[in-house]
Amino acid sequence: MEIRSFTLEVATTDGTDIIDLTPRVREKVAALGVAAGTLTLFTPGSTAALTTIEYETGVINDLRRAIERLLPRELTYEHDRRWGDGNGYAHVRAAFFKPDLTLLIEAGRLLLGTWQQIVLLDFDNRPRQRVVRGQVMGILSSSA
C-alpha cells in the first residue's frame, strides 16, 4: 500500500464559482500510477467546498439558484456584523457542502458515473487562489 499526494491550484472570482476539476484530477491520478485505491480531495479554508454533479450549464445554473434559495447571500449574518467582511453566507454554504470528497480508483481510473464530475465550489465574495489537495492510498500499477 502506497500513499501519493498532489496539489491543484485554482483561481476563482467573487461569485459562486462552480469549477470542473475532473480532467485535472484524472490526469494527476493517472500520473501517480495507482491501480486501485482511494482518493481523498480536500480544499483548505472555510468558504469553499467540493462535491460531484453533472457539469452541464443547465444543472450548474440550477445548483446556483438552489444554493441562493436555501442559503441566501442577502440575509443578515452575525459573522458579517462581527467581522464586517460580508461573507457570512459563504461560510454557511461551505459548511453545508463540506471541504472534502472521497472517490474510488479501480483499474487505474476514477470510479465516476457517466455524467458525474468533480467540482470545486467557491462561495467567497472576493477572488481567491484556491488549493485542492489530493491524497491517494492504494496499490501501484506494475508499471509505476
- The C-alpha atoms of residue 120 and residue 132 are separated, in whole angstroms, by 8
Flag whether pLDDT at 144 surpasses 60. Answer: no
Quote the pLDDT of residue 141. Answer: 85
Amino acid at 45: G
Three-class SS state of 90? helix
CA distance 98 to 46: 9
Instruction: Give bridge partners of residue 56 from the DSSP assignment.
Output: none
Contacting residues for 141 by C-beta, under 8 A, at least 6 apart: 33, 34, 35, 108
Residues 103-123, mean pLDDT to the nearest whole number:
97
- Specify whether the CB–CB gap between 116 and 52 falls below 8 A: yes
| pLDDT at res. 42 | 98
Range 123-137 average pLDDT: 97
pTM of the model: 0.94
Give the amino acid at 70. L
Q: Find the domain containing 73 and state its range.
A: 2-140
Q: What is the CATH number of the domain that holds 66?
A: 2.60.120.460
Please tell me the distance from the alpha carbon of residue 132 to that of residue 123, in angstroms, as a whole number. 15
- Predicted confidence (pLDDT) at residue 97 exceeds the cutoff of 70: yes
Q: What is the distance between the alpha carbons of residues 49 and 135, in angstroms, rounded to a whole number? A: 16
pLDDT digits (tens, 9 = 90+) for 118-129: 999 999 999 999
3-state secondary structure 32-72: HCEEEEEEEEECCCCCEEEEEECCCHHHHHHHHHHHHHHCC
Cβ atoms of 140 and 33 within 8 Å: the answer is yes
Tens-place pLDDT, residues 19-47: 999 999 999 999 999 999 999 999 999 99
Q: Please tell me the distance from the alpha carbon of residue 86 to that of residue 89, in angstroms, as a whole number.
A: 8
Structural domain count, the chain: 1
Separation CA 128–CA 116 (nearest Å):
25
- The string of pLDDT tens digits covering residues 43-87 is 999 999 999 999 999 999 999 999 999 999 999 999 999 999 999
